[in-house]
Each structure stands twice: as structure tokens, then as C-alpha cells.
Amino acid sequence: MLVMFLFSMVFHFGVSQADTGERKQFTPRVVTPQGEYNSLGDALAEAQDGDQIQVYGGVIPGPLVVDKRVTLEGIDWPVIDGGGEGTVVKLAAPGIIMRGFEVRGSGVEPDRNHAGIEVTATDVVVEGNRLEDVLFGIYLAQADRGVVRGNQITGKAQYEVARKGDGIRLWYSQDALVEGNHVYTVRDVVVWYSNRVIFRENTIESSRYGVHLMYCDDIVIEANYLNSNSVGIYIMYSHGIEVHKNDIRRQRGPSGYALGLKDSDRVHVWQNLLVDNHSGLFIDGTPFQEQGYALFHDNIIAYNDIGVILLAVVYQASFEGNTFQENTEQVALQGGGNTQITHWLGNYWSDYTGIDTNLDGIGESIYHSERTFDNLTDRAPMLRVLLFSPAAQAVEFASQIFPVFKPQPKLSDEAPIILPGEIPLWADHEQYGTQRSVFLVIGSGMFLLVVGLILWIYTHDNYRWKGVIAHGAEVSS
């Protein structure tokens, strides 16, 4: 009995101590003017690894350095203000979580990477924060397995885009996740020397480069919305790239590429919406090696000035099942070369004039891209200013009348499909579609009005002339 009593006392004491330790670990340290801590600095000074610190409102002066594994949770959007000096928040311990803060007022020196939040440790989560008036937004430097999620980021309004810093920058940070952020009016979202990074469901607007990769392998870019940037996605010297279900519209900078690829390999691009850009795709040296590949399928490439720009060193790229809808020029070949070594099969071409007699969805004749004026603009892009002029029409007319002027086809698709691909359900940004619908309705209405007017005039004139003829016959008789 004595033994059992002693065992029971030891057991209950151990449980009590464990409960006390657990409560200590999970009871947050609260920062409020009337709370346990009056400042975040005091709470951090006493915090232990694993602690949670809740900050209720107020303005906290920066810079702030966090070097313990804690969870910082802002309630009612407390502000951390750097006062225009240096980096506002530096997260320098593995496993930190920071959420719910407004961060503003970084320094302005780009060579020192003055940022809103700088991460220099592994396994750090930065989520659900607002960053404004910062040169760089969130900067991961040698911070593997970092998570940047659900943040709203904008830069310093007083600077032109090239002088601004990057909204999100990754430098030698492997296995990172960048998800659900809204980045706008910054310079770039840029990734250097970082592998196995996932970009998912971000919105990037009114910036220079939406996503820019340099020397990165095994990257996934999916379900992002990129709108009104100079360039949407640009991938350089990278391998193992998947670009999937992105909605990229209105990239209208000096280059204006929705998706650009340079000297990259093992590239898979599918089910993207590339609409109303200067160019849907820009491809240079991709695939880069003979054993590499670049696959483009089931993309909608529509209403761009140029659907695809191919440079001369593009070999063995494959285009299947894509929709080329009403691009001013479907495919442009720049710098010489031969697109016949690129594989084209089963794409929809809005300028295809063939028919489908057996109703299998495939045209009976081969699609050839062979517009004479397009070939001229490929060699001398400045001629594009004459694109819709009588001179351009005269060139096309002459090439049809005198086949000696007819160029060799830039590309051939032996099985062009008859129907375009459907707009995917995930493309739920309605502004562009609404504008198109309005223009379509207005255009259709005007067309019907003109047709009706012509028919009315024709019918009215027929009756009038019939009456005149009948009256003349009566007079003559």
C-alpha cells in the first residue's frame, strides 16, 4: 500500500508539472499598454523558444531583430515602423512565425537590401502581413524551407519602377513556398539560385517582372494571376520548370512578354491563359540541350500582338492542342532560322480557312503560316506601324496574285483543330472578359444594324424602282 501511495504521488506530481510546463509553453505573452508587457522588445527579451507573443495594436519603432524561435501574432494590425532607416524586421532564428503585422518605413539603399522583412534562418513562416513604403518587401537570404503566404506587399510610391526594390526576393533559399500573396507596384518578384520553389495563387500587378527566375531548378509556377506588368514570367538558365494554370494579361512594357524563356531545359507549360499582351510567348534557346525538352500544350494564346516569338536557336520545342485566337500575328520568327524543326500539331488557329468534312474536329487541309507582311515585320519590326495600312494590304494582295512573291511557310500544322479551347473555370477575373463581352455585344449589334439598314435600303429601292417602272409602263401605254 505504501508503495502504491508513493507511486501515485510521484505520478500526480509529474502530471502536474507537465501540465504547468505545457500551460507555460502555450500561454501567450501579451503586449498591450495595460498588459503584462508594454513593449514587444520586453516580451522578446524574456521569451523562450516556442513561446507565442501576441501584440495588440499600437506602433512599434523599428528596427526589430527576432533571434528566438517564437510566434509573433499581431491583433488589430499593430504597426512596426522603421522610420525610413535600414531593414524594419529581421527574422534570424529557425522556426519563427510572424503574422498579422503592418510593416512600413524601410530605408532606401538598394545595395544594402533595405527591406520590410528580411529572413536569414530556415523554416520561417511569414504570413498574413501588410507591407507598404518599403524598398524591398520580403527578402529570404539563405533561408531554406521558408514560407511567404498571404501577404500584401507594395513598394515606395515616390520611386519609378526601376528604382523600387523587389516585392519578394529569394536568394539561395531552397524548398520555399510563395503562396497567396498580393504584390503590386514593386520592381520584381525575383528568385536567384533557389531550387524546388513553389509559386502558387499569387496576384502580381503593375510591376516590372511578375516572376523572374535566374539559375533555379525544379520550380512550380501555378494558378497565379499576373496583370499589367512589363513582363509576366521570365525564366533564365533554369531547368525542370512547370508553368500551369496561370492567368497572364496585359503585359505591355517595352518587351511585354506574358511568358519568356531563355536557355532553359525540361520546361512544361500547359493550361495557361495568355491574353492581351505584346507577346504571349517569347522563346530563346529553349530547350537548351539536345536531350532537353520544352512542351507547350492546351494553352489559350489570344488577342496578343504576337502569339509566339521564336528566336533562331529554338530547337525541338513542341506545340500541341493550343488555341491561337485572333493574335495580330500568330507566330513571329526573329533572327532568322527555321521553325519547321519545331513540332506543331493539333492546334487551333483562328485564321485557318480549312473545313472539317468528316466532323472529327480536325481540318482536312494543313494549316500554313505564310503571310508575306508578317515575314517582313519579322525581319524589320519597325514595319509593324504599317500593319493595318493600305500598304500592308497591297503586299498581301500582290503575293496572292503573283505567287512568285509568296513566302515559304513559317510553320505547318498537319492536324489543325476546328474549335478553340474553352476558357477555363479557374479564370475568374471578370474584368477583361466583361470588356470583351461588351465589345462583342456592341460589335454584333452594329453589324446587325448595318445589315438591316442595307436590306431596308435594298428592299425600299426595289419597291421604288418597281413603282417607277410600272408607272412608266402605264404612261407609255
Compute the mean pLDDT over every residue in the chain, rounded to the nearest whole number: 83
CA R_g for the chain: 31
Q: Are 238 and 214 in contact (CB under 8 A)?
A: yes
What global pTM score does this model have? 0.80
* Residue in this structure with the C-alpha cell 507598404, named with its chain if needed: 132
Q: Is the pLDDT of residue 465 over 70?
A: no
Q: Are 184 and 204 in contact (CB under 8 A)?
A: yes
**pLDDT tens for each residue of 29-74:** 999 988 789 999 999 999 999 999 999 999 999 999 999 999 999 9
Residue type, 187: R
Q: Using alpha carbons, select from 205, 195, 76 the residue that is nearest to residue 130.
A: 76
How far apart (Å, rounded) are the C-alpha atoms in residues 122 and 141? 10
Residue type, 245: K
How far apart (Å, rounded) are the C-alpha atoms in residues 418 and 413? 12
So what's the pLDDT on residue 383?
Answer: 53
Q: Are 181 and 223 in contact (CB under 8 A)?
A: no
Q: What is the C-alpha end-to-end distance of the chain, expressed in Å?
A: 143
Q: Is the pLDDT of residue 403 over 60?
A: no
DSSP 401: H
How far apart (Å, rounded) are the C-alpha atoms in residues 269 and 246? 10
Whether the bond between 381 and the residue before it is cis, its omega within 30 degrees of 0, is no
How far apart (Å, rounded) are the C-alpha atoms in residues 417 and 361? 6
- Helix axis angle for 390-401 and 372-379, nearest 10°, is 120
Q: What percent of the chain has pLDDT over 70?
A: 75
